[in-house]
Amino acid sequence: MAATETKTAAPPSGLAEFWFYFSRNRGAVLGLGIFLVILCLAIAAPLVAPHSPSEQNRAALLLPPVFAKGGQLTYLMGTDPVGRDILSRLIYGARFSLFIGLVVVSLSVISGVLVGLVAGYFRGRVDTVIMRLMDIVLAFPSLLLALVLVAVLGPGLVNAMIAISLVNLPHFVRLTRASVMTERTKDYVIGSQVAGAGTLRLMFMTILPNCLAPLIVQATLAFSAAILDAAALGFLGMGAQPPTPEWGTMLAEAREFIQRAWWVVTFPGLAILITVLAINLMGDGLRDALDPKLKRS
Amino acid sequence: MLRFIFGRLLVLIPTFIGVSIIAFAFIRLLPGDPVMLMSGERVMAPERHAQIMAELGLDRPMYIQYFDYLVGLLQGDFGKSIISKRSVLTDFLTLFPATVELSFCAIVLAVALGIPAGMLAAVKRGTWLDQTIMGTALVGYSMPIFWWGLLLIIFFSGYLGWTPVSGRISLMYFFKPVTGFMLIDSLISGQAGAFKSAVTYLILPTIVLATIPLAVIARQTRSAMLEVLGEDYVRTARSKGLSPFRVVGLHALRNAMIPVITTIGLQIGVLLAGAILTESIFSWPGIGKWMVDSVFKRDYAVVQGGLLLIAAVIMIVNLVVDVLYGLVNPRIRR
C-alpha cells in the first residue's frame, strides 16, 4: 500500500518562509550580520575591550588612532582628552545603546499595543478619548517633548528612556488601532465570537496575532529611532551623564576638541550610524518578509 | 469644502486644550518650589514667598489657576522670561523667522534633490544606480544629524576653511532686521557682500537639517513611482509612442506625487525636531536653540510658553496640509 502513496511537499514552516523572503534582501542579511556582531561585542565587552572604559592614562592624552601619525598600537582608535581608550569606551557604549533600544521598544510596544487594542476593539468614547490624547502627544516635536520631559524628571539615562518611550507611544497606538479595526469585522473574528469566545480571548488570541506584522516592522524602526534619540539627548547633555561611555554623551564631551582631534568626534558618531543603519537595513528586510501587501515589490 | 475645514478646526480645539494643560502642568510638575523656580531667587523670606505666591496666583485652587492661564493665552499672554523679563511671545516672534528660513531652505533642498533621485531610482530599478541612490538614502535616514553637522564643520570649516562655523551672518555686516529673514534683509540692506555672507552661513545648517527629509522623500518617491509605473494608463501612454521622458515626467510623476506631498507635509514636525539639534550645533539663533538654552538656564516660563507656541505652529501647519490634501484629493473629504 505504501507504494501508492503520493508524496506532497509539506508547506514551508512560517520561519522557513520568513527566512526565504528575508534572505532575498541582501542588505537585510548584511544588517543582521552587523547587528549580531555589535550584539556579541556588547555582551562580551569586558572580554573584548582592550582597556577599562574608565581607565585614564595621563601619559596618553588625545593620542591619535593607530593608522594616523603618532598613534600607538595599544590604543587602536586613539584616546580622549583624559586619556581613556576610545575603542573600549565604544564597545562598552554598545551595551548602553542596545539596552536603551530594547527598553524603549519594550515599554512603548507593550503599552502602545494595549492602549491601541482597547481603542480599536471597543471604539466609541474610549477610542475618541485615547486618540485625542495621542494627538496631543503628536502635536509636539518628539525630541522637544523628550527634552522637556527629561527636564521635569531630571537628566539621566533612565529618565531619557522613559521620555523616549512616551514620545514613541502614539505610533504604536495608532498602528495597532488601525489593524484591529480592519480585523475586528472579519468573518473569523465574528465566527469565534459566535462560538462563545470571551472579550479578552478575542482581543489577545484571535485578533492580536493577525496584527503583528506591521507592529514588528514599526518596532524595528522604533529601536533605531530610540538609539538616535537617546544619543541626541546625551549630546544635548540631558541623557546619560558623563563619565558614562554612552555614544551621544561621548560626542558631547568631545565637541570642544573638533578642531584639534578629529578622532574623538568621528568614532562615536560612526558607531551610532553603523548600528542604526544595520537595524534599519533589517527593518527593510522584515517589511519585505512580513508585509504580504509589499511582497511583490 | 468649508465643512471639511470647519470639521478639522473643531478637532483642533480639544487638542489645543490638551496641549495647554500639558504646558500648564509642566511648571507645576517640576521638582522644587514653583515660586523659587519662577522668581529665580535662591533664598527668600517666608513673607516674600507668600507675597509672590499671591502675585503669581499660586495660592488659588488649581482649576482657577488653569482658567486664568487659558484666558491669558487667548489674550496673547504666554508668560515672561524669568531671566530677561521679556515677553515669551515677543522673543518667539523675533527668533521664529530664523527657524523658518532654515527649515524652508532645508525642505526646498530636500524636495529638489529627493524627488529626482527617487524618480531616477524607480526608472532604473534594480541597477547599480538604484542601489547606490537607495543605499545613500538609507544612510541619510540613519544619520545622527548632530554628528553629521560636526563632521561637516571639521571638513568644510576647519580643513577647507570655506564656511563659517556658527551664526547667521558675518559680524562685519549690521543692519536693522526688516523681515527677520537674513537672506531678504541682507539684500534689502544693499550692503555689498552681505547676501553672500548670509548664504555661506546658511549652507551647512541647511544640508544638515535637510538630510533626513531628503532621504525620506527619495524613498517615498521611488516607491510611489514604482507603483504608478505599473498602472495601465502608463502602459497606454507608452504604447501611444510618447517619449519615455514625457511618460515618466508627466503622466507618472503627477500621480506619484499625491503620497509624496503627504510625506513632505509630515516632515514639518521632523524639521522642527531637527532644528533643535541643528541650531544647537551651529549656534543658529532660532527657536530650537532658544528652547534648549532655556531648559539649561532653567528659564521654565520660556520653556512653558515656547512649548505651547511650537505645538500651535505644528497644529496649524498640519491643518493647512490636511486642507491642501483635501483640495488635491476630494475623496478624503468624505
**Beta carbons of B150 and A236 less than 8 Å apart:** no
**Beta carbons of B292 and A152 less than 8 Å apart:** no
- Cβ–Cβ contact B146 with A under 8 A: yes
Residue A209 has pLDDT above 80, yes or no: yes
pLDDT class of A74 with cuts at 50, 70, 90 = confident
pLDDT class of A63 with cuts at 50, 70, 90 = confident
Secondary structure letter of residue A70 according to DSSP: T
- Cβ–Cβ contact B19 with A under 8 A: yes
User: Does some domain include residue A168?
Assistant: yes
Residue B61: per-residue pLDDT: 80
Contacts of B302 in chain A (CB under 8 A): none
User: Does some domain include residue B61?
Assistant: no
User: Does some domain include residue B27?
Assistant: no
User: Nearest-CA residue of chain B relative to A229?
Assistant: B144
Of A297 and A72, more confident: A72
Q: What is the pLDDT along chain B (334 residues), one digit of tens a residue?
A: 788 888 888 888 888 888 888 888 877 777 766 676 666 666 777 787 788 777 767 777 878 888 888 888 888 888 888 778 888 899 999 999 999 999 999 999 999 999 999 999 998 888 999 999 999 999 999 999 999 999 998 888 888 888 888 888 877 777 777 787 888 888 787 777 788 888 888 999 999 999 999 999 999 999 888 888 888 888 888 888 888 888 887 778 877 887 788 788 778 778 888 899 999 999 999 999 999 998 888 788 888 889 899 998 888 888 887 787 777 666 666 5
User: Does some domain include residue A181?
Assistant: yes
How many structural domains is chain A composed of? Answer: 1
**Beta carbons of B295 and A148 less than 8 Å apart:** yes
User: Does some domain include residue A202?
Assistant: yes
Return the CATH number at B128. Answer: 1.10.3720.10
Residue A292 has pLDDT above 60, yes or no: no
**Beta carbons of A276 and B15 less than 8 Å apart:** no
User: Does some domain include residue A218?
Assistant: yes
Half-sphere exposure of A46 (CA within 13 A, CB side): 0
User: Does some domain include residue A169?
Assistant: yes
User: Does some domain include residue A79?
Assistant: no
User: Does some domain include residue B38?
Assistant: no
CB A161 within 8 A of CB A107: yes
Which whole number is the average pLDDT over A231-240?
A: 90
- How far apart, in whole angstroms, are the C-alpha atoms of residue A233 and residue A43? 24
User: Does some domain include residue B45?
Assistant: no
User: Which residues, numbered 20 to 79 in chain B, qualify as contacts with chain A under a Cβ-Cβ cut-off of 8 Å?
Assistant: 22, 26, 29-31
Residue B228: per-residue pLDDT: 85
- How far apart, in whole angstroms, are the C-alpha atoms of residue B79 and residue B85? 9
User: Does some domain include residue A19?
Assistant: no
User: Does some domain include residue B23?
Assistant: no
Domain range for B172: 88-332
CB A94 within 8 A of CB A284: no
Tell me the sheet residues that pair with B80: B87
Residue A297: per-residue pLDDT: 40
User: Does some domain include residue B24?
Assistant: no
Chain A nearest CA to B130, separation (Å)? 13
Domain range for A247: 87-294
Which whole number is the average pLDDT over A43-49?
A: 89
User: Does some domain include residue A53?
Assistant: no
Residue A245: closest CA among A55, A54, A107: A54
CA dihedral B271, B273, B279, B282 (to 10 degrees): -80
User: Nearest-CA residue of chain B relative to A146?
Assistant: B273
pLDDT class of A152 with cuts at 50, 70, 90 = confident
User: Does some domain include residue B200?
Assistant: yes
User: Does some domain include residue B19?
Assistant: no
How many structural domains is chain B composed of? Answer: 1
- Cβ–Cβ contact B273 with A under 8 A: yes
Return the CATH number at A258. Answer: 1.10.3720.10
Chain B nearest CA to A5, separation (Å)? 44
